[in-house]
Amino acid sequence: MTTVFRKALGALPRLGVQVLDLGPGAAVVSRRGGYTATKMSGDSWMVGGKRPRTRTTADGWGLHKAAAGDLCARHVADLLANYEVNCVFDVGANKGQYGRQLRELGYRGRIVSFEPVPDALARLRKSAERDPEWRVYPFALGRSESFEDMHLGWKTMNSLLQPSAYGQRRYKRFTDTRKEQVRIRRLDEVMDEALEGIAEPRPYLKMDTQGFDMEVFAGAGRRTADFVGMQSEVAVLQLYEGSPRMNEAIAAYEDAGFAITGMYPVTREKTTGRVVEFDCVMARAAAAPSRQG
């Protein structure tokens, strides 16, 4: 039997309205038309404008990036649920994009965000102010307690490290920088406070610190064993001086007991297609709830 929804969709083209039918209960309606849709996962679609007849390879990478980002976010959301995570350490939180995404995907446990840059910190606090389970710390994390200069003015790419020669060729923003001193603390020194009130903590560590992830990880010391899962941006091509290569970082994480559950491209070279960085999602298999087998 044809539903009222289907009858309505069938009538719209006669009124000059274009319809892109996505299946039961879902459609894109527009007077301009020309939309395309790509199925992502479950009931999720990516809808965009009409593709040109001759599309360059560079244009195509935008779709690849969006698809990888969506798949990574959903993968992490599933991992948090499967491993019964009740506290996410969001290191390099910037304006709170990661925390907001977690909430949108259904995570309701505690979020502990770290961000030392004043402008981003103000936006982060705004994002978290109405969320009683979202805590914000105004400092960076690293291998040791110190105060260091952070390079600013690079939007979401502010870093405690200087840009590499490759990074300077790739991003014009690296040529215009200012420095500001920020406080750095060790992760293992703040974990007890951050986890206070959680009876049986099952934390997850997310790091996005523009080449500084391994320093953050080192600062967790023996407390790395407390994390049931983790996420790190690993570099195939180095954007920052002194940042570890992907194989070096993954080897360190594996030595600490984590195994890869997903790898998602973050950025690519438009001309060559080479991946610059991956989001590497990992979990400690021994920490998986016994119901999973």
Taking only the tens place, the pLDDT of each residue in 45-61 is 555 555 444 444 445 66
Q: Residue 166: which pLDDT band, with cuts at 50, 70 and 90?
A: confident
CA distance 211 to 162: 10
- Across 52-61, 167-176, 251-260, the highest mean pLDDT is recorded for 251-260
Written as one letter, the residue type at 35 is Y
| Contact (Cβ atoms closer than 8 angstroms) between residue 194 and residue 112 | yes
- pLDDT number for residue 194: 98
Domain ranges of the chain: 20-50, 60-292
pLDDT for residue 117: 92
What is the pLDDT confidence band of residue 293, given thresholds at 50, 70 and 90?
very low
Structure tokens at 251: 């080897």
Residue 159 DSSP SS3? strand
| 111 has a pLDDT exceeding 60 | yes
Tokens representing 19 are 């319809």
Handedness of CA 237, 240, 241, 243 (dihedral sign): negative
- Report pLDDT digits (tens) over 6-39: 566 566 666 666 766 666 666 666 655 555 555 5
Q: In this structure, how many other beta carbons lie within 10 angstroms of the beta carbon of residue 273?
A: 13
d(CA 59, CA 1): 42
More confident: 56 or 147: 147
Indicate the range of 49-63, 114-128, 210-224, 251-265 predicted with least confidence: 49-63
CA angle at 31 for the pair 28 and 35, rounded to the nearest 5°:
45
CATH topology of domain 60-292: Rossmann fold (3.40.50)
Question: Phi first, then psi: what are they for 257, rounded to 5°?
Answer: 105, 5
Beta pairing partners, 233: 279
pLDDT of residue 37: 56
Dist CA 193 CA 189 (whole Å): 8
What is the model's pTM?
0.79
- Displacement of CA 77 from its chain's centroid (Å): 11
**CA 232/CA 230 separation, integer angstroms:** 7
Residue indicated by tokens 């070096």: 248
Pairing of strands 229-235, 203-207: parallel
Could you give the CA distance from residue 90 to residue 7 in angstroms, rounded to a whole number?
A: 47
Q: Is pLDDT of 149 > 70? A: yes
List of residues 6+ apart from 95 with CB closer than 8 A = 120, 123, 124, 127
pLDDT score for 285: 94
Is the pLDDT confidence value at 85 over 90? yes
